[in-house]
Each structure stands twice: as structure tokens, then as C-alpha cells.
Amino acid sequence: MTALHSYELHVVLPESKKLTADWRSAPYCNYAATAQDHISVCVLRAKGGVVFDSPAYLLSGSTEISTAGVAIAEVP
């Protein structure tokens, strides 16, 4: 039996913007919404990860790597 792991991506922006998150190996979890506070939760059935829009790009169009306001954690 494969172990299931649940993860939560939480992104807080200073203003409302559209954010997309693509969960690798779990397209059923993909997320897209316009908000200031984004939460995407996914149960991974296989090795995977999440790719999401950079907060710096969303806010100013900057291509710098930014994790400001981003948290990801395994959740029960």
C-alpha cells in the first residue's frame, strides 16, 4: 500500500492577485484563484511537488526568486 501525504501551500500577498499552483503528480489538486490569502491543499499519492507563481512576479513583474509570504507544510 502506498503512503499518502497531505501538504498545504499557503501564500499571503499584500494585495489581491491571481495565483496558480500546479501540483506535480497530482493534477487533480491544481489551484487558481484571485485573492490576497491563498491556500491549496493536496494529498500526494506518489512523489511530487508544487510549482506556483512567484509573489515578486505577481506584485511587480520582477523575475527575482521570492518566497515572501509563502509557507508549505505537511499537514495531518
> Of 30, 52, 51, whose CA–CA distance to 41 is shortest?
30
Range of the domain at 49: 5-75
CB 51 within 8 A of CB 74: no
Number of domains in the chain: 1
pLDDT of amino acid 55:
96
Strand, helix or coil at 52? strand
pTM: 0.89
The pLDDT profile of the chain, 76 residues, written as one tens digit per residue, is 467 889 999 999 999 999 999 999 898 999 999 999 999 999 998 888 999 999 999 999 999 988 999 999 999 8
What's the confidence (pLDDT) of residue 2?
A: 61
